[in-house]
Structure 1
Amino acid sequence: METSSPRSVVLIHGLWYGAVSLALVGRRLRKRSFETHAFGYPTLRQSLPANAAALREFIAKLDLDQVDLVGHSLGGLVILRMLDEYGDIPPGRVVLLGSPVHGSAVARRVAERRYFRPLVGQARAALEAGFSHAPAGRETGIIAGSRSIGVGRIFGGLSEPNDGTVSLAECRLEGADECILPVTHTGLVVAPSVVRAAARFLTEGKF
C-alpha cells in the first residue's frame, strides 16, 4: 500500500530572531511527520520586497510540488508579500504566528524615537504597512497570543488581547481562520500548543 509523502513546510523567522528561533518548531513538526526547511534572512538590513524575493528563490531551489509556509511575526509579512508579488509559488497552506498584518503599533513607536530606530532597521516600512486579506487560493491560518508580557508595555501598551508585542487586532486577516492561545509573542515559537495548532491547520486546513 502506498504511503502519502510528508507535507513540506518552510519556516520563516521574525525580527531579530534568526532561523534558529524556529528550530524547536521544526523539530516538533518533524516528529509529526512534516518535512521542514528553515529560511534565514537579514531582518534589519534588507527591505520586505528584497526578503520576499529571496524567499521565492529559496523555495524555487527546493524544487517542491507542494510547500506550506509558517512565518513568525515579520516572517509572516515576508510570506504575504511574496505571495502578493509572485504567482509561481507551489500550492500549500499558510500559518502566521503573531504577524502584525495590519502594521505594528509598537514598531511605529520604536521608529519615532531616534535612539531606538535602529532596532527596526529596514523592517520599519513593513511593520508600519499592512495587508487587507488572506492570499487568494491558499488556506491561511492565524495563531495569535493573548498573554500580554513583552516590549509593548515599555512602548505605551497595546489594546487587549495581545501577546505583549502584537495585538490580536493587528494579526487578524480577512479570509483567514483564527486560533488564540495563552502565550506571549516569544511563546509562539516555543509553546507545544502552538505547534499542535499549526500542525492541525497544515494537515486539515482548519483549526
Structure 2
Amino acid sequence: MRSSNPIMLEARYRTWAMASAVAGRAVRAQSRIRRALYPGKDDGQDTVILIHGLWMGSSCMRVLGRLYARANHRVVFMDYLCDTDPSAIYRTIATHVARANALGSRAHLVGHSCGGVLAVSSWLQSQGHLAVDSILCLGSPLNGSQAARRLLAHPAGKRVLGRTGELLVHPLPDGRPNGGGPVPRIAMLAGTRPVGAARWLGAVSDQSDGTVELAETRWPGLDQHVAIDCTHRGLVHWPHVAALAVAFTEGHALPSTNLSHE
C-alpha cells in the first residue's frame, strides 16, 4: 500500500534522486518518483502538464506540482533535453494531452521560460487542434530572447543552446490559428527583479527578471499579462506564484495589477 505521508514521500524522493544522479539516470528516476509523489486521478480530474525551462529538469517544478496536487489536479511532469528536436517535444505534449482527453480530463499546460515557449509553440504548430483548456507561461520569452541571440553569436553558443534553445531566438507568430479546435486561455506571469546570470553578464537590462526582458514576455496573443517582483528562478519557487497558477488553471482571472514579492 502506497504511503500517503508527504514527509516520507519527500524523503523518498530526495533519496532516490540522489542515488539516480550518482548512477547517471536522473531524468528517468525523477519521472518515476514524481509519479509516486503525484499519482493523480484517472477519473476526469483536470490534468496539468508542467514543462520546465532550458538546462533544468522537472525537479524545479515541484512547488507547482505540490500545489496542483493539493488542489486535486492530475499532475504530469515533462522532461526533455535541450538538444531534443522541438517537433519531438510537440509530439510528447500532444501525447500527454490526448491521454488526458481520453480520460475525460481537461488538459492545461504550464511552462517556465523555454517550457512556456514550447507550450505555446505546440498549440500554434497544431493549427489550434491541440485540445488544451489553458496555457500559462512563467517568464517565457515569447517575443524572442536577447540573451539567447547573444549566446548564439558565440562560437559555442549553438552547442550550449541546443536545438530546443534555438526556439528562443525568434519571436512566435502574432496571430492565433483558426483550426476549429478549442481556443485556450493564454496568460503570462513575468518577473521584474533583475537578478540572474544574464543580467550580471550584461545580456539583459534592469527591466527584466535577470534572464528574460519584460518586453520579451509581452506577446500579442496573450489574454493576460501580469508582472511580479520576482526573479526568473523565483517564478517556479515562490509559493504565491504557484497559487496564482492554480487559480488561473481553475478558470479564475489573474490579478489586473502588478504584484510585489512580500
For the 8 Å contact 1:13–1:71, the answer to whether it is kept is yes
2:226 partner letter: C
When the two structures are superposed, what TM-score results if normalisation uses the length of structure 1? 0.88
Question: Does 2:98 correspond to 1:52?
Answer: no
1:48 deviation in Å? 2.1
Structure (1 or 2) with the larger CA radius of gyration: 2
Q: Which amino acid aligns with 1:38?
A: F
Q: Does 1:97 align with 2:143?
A: no
Q: What does residue 199 of structure 1 align with?
A: 246
Moved more, 118-127 or 97-106: 118-127
1:85-164 mapped onto 2 (5 Å cutoff): 85-86=125-126, 87-133=128-174, 135=176, 137-164=183-210
Please report how far the alpha carbon of residue 169 of structure 1 lies from its aligned counterpart in structure 2 after TM superposition: 0.5
Query: How many residues are matched?
Result: 203
Asked if 1:72 corresponds to 2:118, the answer is no
Structure 1 position 59, deviation (Å): 2.5
Q: Any idea what the Cα deviations from partners look like across 1:164-188, whole Å, max 9, x if unmatched? A: 0001110112242012111111111
CA contact (8 A) 1:9 1:70 kept: yes
Matched, 1:171 2:217: yes
Segments ≥4 residues shifted beyond 4 Å: none
- 2:76 pairs, out of 21, 33, 37, with 37
- 8 A contact 1:161–1:168 mirrored in 2: yes
Q: CA RMSD in A?
A: 2.1
| 1:101-158 per-position Cα deviation (integer Å, ceiling 9, x unaligned) | 0111111111111134422111242011122447562111100001111121243242
Distance change in 2, residues 1:20/1:195 (3 Å)? same
Asked which structure has the greater RCO (Cα within 8 Å, sep 6+), the reply is 1
Q: Between 4-13 and 77-86, report the one with greater CA deviation.
A: 4-13
Q: Distance in 2 between matches of 1:82 and 1:116?
A: 24
Partner of 2:23: none
Q: 1-side partners of 2:158 and 2:197: how far apart? A: 14
Change (3 A) 1:160 1:88: same
CA contact (8 A) 1:104 1:128 kept: yes
2:53 is aligned to 14
Same amino acid, percent of matched pairs: 29
Q: Does the Cα contact within 8 Å between 1:111 and 1:117 map onto a contact in 2?
A: yes
Q: Contact 1:95 / 1:141 at 8 angstroms: preserved in 2?
A: yes
Unaligned runs of 5+ in 2: 1-42, 178-182, 255-262
Contact 2:152 2:161 in 1 (8 A): yes
- Check the 8 A contact 1:64/1:90 in 2, yes or no: no
Q: Which structure 1 residue ranges, 5 or more long, are not aligned? A: none
Supply the distance in 2 between the matched residues of 1:6 and 1:171 (Cα, whole angstroms). 30
Amino acid at match of 1:184: T
